[in-house]
Amino acid sequence: MSLLFRFRERLVLGPILQSLDEGEAVVAWSHASLPGARAPGLFVVTQQRCLLQVASPSVPDVETPLSRLRIFEFDRRSATTGQLRLRGDEAEIVAEFSLTSRHRTRAMGRILAQLARAEVGAPPSFDPSATSPLPPVVRGVRDHARRVWVTVLGALVLVVSLLFASPFVPGPGALTAVAGLAILAREYEWARDVHLWSARQVDRFVSWIRGRRGGDEPAEHDHQPPRHQVVSGS
């Protein structure tokens, strides 16, 4: 199990761990996304800061020292999704989380507990002494049926991607594989990890292509700010 955990940590947290200061460590993390964005992301809490990283070349990483945060709000919009809003002196950060499994609610609970321990203001209803600040997800017949069709559809898309990757059937195999992983990531943690890793590779490839075209005039849409809810100024 420890070997599997280290592999997952290297796969998901590798780029972030390399950027940490000496003596700094990740204390809580979870897969996350920006409202309205389709690219996968990661929300990380260390002893010193919060970091929101999205695997998209158009979205810069958002990093905020814990000392600058004043309050957090968590809105459980449904049984399967939640939105975390961080407010500070200079910025407001909004991230969305999937809560479709006990593993995901526990990861979200660890993030909220760490924010509370760092003396970031918590909502009155928040109880940091609880084992998990979020109630567990109860999966019914509908949830199990969704898991089945997600598994079948995701597996079919991955099979199609293998066919596209064949030298005898030219086609966008890599992009199709990423789509298949995105489907499976709705239910499986391993798929979320691999989806994030693959999206980062696509991001690196896009950045490399743009670097090769460094002498070209940027397109008009490159001057526009990202259309995501990371708002400067509180």
Are the CB atoms for 59 and 226 separated by under 8 Å?
A: yes
Give 58: exposed, middle or buried? Use CB within 10 Å, 0-12, 13-18, 19+: middle
Same domain, 150 and 127: no
Are the CB atoms for 85 and 92 separated by under 8 Å?
A: yes
Same domain, 102 and 201: no
Using one digit for the tens of pLDDT, what is the confidence trace for 88-104? 877 788 999 998 888 89
d(CA 219, CA 54): 22
Residue 170: per-residue pLDDT: 52
Same domain, 46 and 130: yes
Using one digit for the tens of pLDDT, what is the confidence trace for 179-209? 899 999 988 999 999 999 888 887 777 777 7
d(CA 171, CA 26): 40
Same domain, 61 and 13: yes
What is the domain count for the chain?
2
CA 189 to chain centre: 12
| Whole-prediction pTM | 0.79
Residue 232: per-residue pLDDT: 31
Angstrom CA distances, 1 to 6, 7, 8, 175, stand at 9, 10, 11, 31
Question: Does residue 219 sit within a domain?
Answer: no
Residue 167: per-residue pLDDT: 58
d(CA 10, CA 16): 10
Task: Find the domain containing 149 and state its range.
Answer: 141-213
**Sequence-distant (≥ 6) Cβ neighbours of residue 212 within 8 angstroms:** none
> What residues in the chain have per-residue pLDDT under 70?
1-2, 4-5, 131, 136, 166-171, 214-234
Half-sphere exposure (Cβ direction) of 161: Cα atoms closer than 13 Å:
16
Are the CB atoms for 116 and 126 separated by under 8 Å?
A: yes
Closest to 73 in 3D by CA, of 115, 30, 29, 128:
115
Tokens of 67: 């000392």
Same domain, 21 and 105: yes
Strand spans (E) along the chain: 26-32, 41-46, 49-54, 62-65, 69-75, 81-88, 91-98, 230-232
Same domain, 122 and 32: yes
Residue 216: per-residue pLDDT: 52
Same domain, 121 and 56: yes
d(CA 66, CA 114): 10
